[in-house]
A and B are shown apart, each in its own frame.
Chain A
Amino acid sequence: MTDLSAEWVGQIVSWLLIILGWSLINRHQNDRETRKEIHERLDHLKKTVKNLETRAITYHLEENPAPLTSLKIKSTLELLWSEIAPLKLIDSDDLGELIFYLRRDITLCNFDAESHIPLSPDSRQLQEIGASSQRLLTKLDTAFISRFH
């Protein structure tokens, strides 16, 4: 009877070890998949932000930018929240501020047709657009690193 119990306990322990090992490997694989997926989405987001920056700077440099361009810029700005927030990499207050500053630097001044003038390439506004865009990209990178490294 004692031998049987000992054998039984041994089998249970073996199975528990197998299940524990499997769950650890599974978790590790899931983490790696999540990391890969978020990394791919971040790459896409970074391209979106850089394209937005380029498009915004071009818009401010041009004498008569197409009205459609301003609509595209605003649509892209609107997409940022819905694409970044679900990743849960950045605290929502911090993300709100970063997008606010980027939108403000691009669309507060010189954006409307009536008041638009072509800016000089070294203008302060263009520098601020670049800085706001870079702040958002840096925050995305550091948030990714701190979560997955």
Chain B
Amino acid sequence: MARRKIHLAEDFSRYPAGRVKTDGPYSGERFRVEFLEPVLKEDGCADIYLDGARGYGSSFLEEAFGGLVRQGYSVEQVLKAFTIHATDKSLKFEIRDYINHGGEE
């Protein structure tokens, strides 16, 4: 299966914000449902590019990536499926942390 490329700023929004859909149109929940879960449902994998957006809130990142584990996907499956590309290394740390602890919230 082809590896998908997801450029968050171009394919989703330059202004990602909020945890759930009621927080706004470009929430972490919406990104998870529309971009991340389909990859896992197909047992595929994807490169996710984070550069270009005007900043990320942790609630967005936690809901998008940690939320996958709460939805029942295993930590190993999520870590294996997605490769994060970001100039800002702190985003990679943060996403990995939320995936590893996603089921705890």
Q: Which residues of A contact B (CB under 8 A)?
A: 70-71, 73-78, 80-82, 85, 92-93, 95-100, 103-104, 106-109, 111-115
Contacts and interface: CB of A to CB of B under 8 A. Distances in A.
Nearest to B53: A78
Contact of A108 (B54, B62, B92): B62
Interface residues of B, number: 24
Interface of B: 15, 17-20, 22-24, 54-59, 62, 87-94, 97
B55 A71 contact: yes
Contacts, number: 85
Contacts of B54: 71, 74-75, 78
B19 A115 contact: yes
A95 B89 contact: yes
A112 B90 contact: no
Contacts of B87: 81-82
Contacts of A112: 17-20, 23-24, 57, 59
A122 B50 CA distance: 35
A113 B59 CA distance: 11
Contacts of A78: 54-56, 88
A74 B57 contact: yes
Given A74-B54, A108-B59, A96 B90 contact: yes
Q: Which 3 A-B pairs rank lowest in CB-CB distance, beginning with the nearest?
A: A74-B55, A99-B90, A96-B89
